[in-house]
Amino acid sequence: MATTTHDAFDDKFHDIALRHERSWIFLATAMIAVLFLVAVYFVVHDYGLVAKTTQFYSDPNAPANLADFQGSGIKQTGPNSYNVYEMGRVWSWTPGTATPITLPAGAHVTFYVTSADVIHGFEVQGTSINLTAIPGVVGHISYTFDKPGTYYIICNEYCGAGHQAMIGKIVITGAKQS
Ligand SMILES: [Cu+2]
């Protein structure tokens, strides 16, 4: 049987191939490293994409009893900025379901979200607002409503027989406040 022999050409070719492979491996590893660092950066500096938790309570009913969550749940904090204290319960959003949340265009809103019973999902369609409403936990997320119109709050965590009807409304009126 003939055995393979290496001549000078083979060796040279092998060297070149090795060099190419090394640079491609380096390039691929560098790209993965860059993507990883970018992902970490985005998580740390969230850009409002990641909902934050304000506080945990040992009593799951505690947030539901906080003064902020009683009454209208809407508090003006600046010329056109608001805090909305949003409570999910089977199967409504307060405020939102019984009375729509009505705010002027350009309103910068921070939602403080909790649940009075089971886990709900607070999602405002057409926006980046999406966070879980958990009993005993108050999460918060901010959003600026630049476009007038009606935004629907839905529940995106299955929470029982009336889950699909757990809908609220945010009405952004055309008049821009300054
Ligand atoms: Cu729900």
Give per-residue pLDDT as tens, 92-148: 999 999 999 999 999 999 999 999 999 999 999 999 899 999 888 888 899 999 999
Residue 12 three-state SS: helix
In three-state secondary structure terms, 147 is coil
Please give the pLDDT value at position 50.
Answer: 54
Question: How far apart are the CA of 171 and the centre of ligand 1, in A?
Answer: 21
Closest CA to 116 of 134, 139, 95, 140: 134
Residue 8's pLDDT band, with cuts at 50, 70 and 90, is confident
Q: How far apart are CA 145 and CA 172, in angstroms?
A: 7
Cα distance between residue 153 and residue 170, in whole Å? 7
Ligand 1 centroid to residue 120 C-alpha, Å: 4
Q: How far is the CA of 89 from the centre of ligand 1 (A)?
A: 7
DSSP string computed for 33-93:
HHHHHHHHHHHHT-TT-S-EEEEE-SSTTHHHHSGGGSTT-EEEEETTEEEEEEEEETTEE
pLDDT at position 57 is: 79
User: Quick check: helix, strand or coil at residue 130?
Assistant: strand
Ligand 1 midpoint to CA 51 (Å): 18
Dist. CA 166 → ligand 1 center (Å):
6
Residue 55 alpha carbon to ligand 1 centre in Å: 21
- Ligand 1 midpoint to CA 88 (Å): 7
Ligand 1 mean position to 145 CA, how many Å?
23
Q: What is the pLDDT of residues 19-77, one digit of tens each?
A: 999 999 999 999 999 999 998 887 777 655 556 666 777 788 888 788 888 888 899 99
The pLDDT-based confidence of 153 (bands split at 50, 70, 90) is very high
Q: Looking at the whole model, is its pTM more than 0.75? A: no
- Nearest-angstrom CA–CA distance, 21 and 26: 8
φ, ψ of residue 22 to 5 degrees: the values are: -60, -45
Ligand 1 midpoint to CA 2 (Å): 75
Name residue, tokens 């019984």. Answer: 98
pLDDT value, residue 176: 54
Distance (Å) from CA 170 to ligand 1 centroid: 17
Amino acid 46: pLDDT: 63
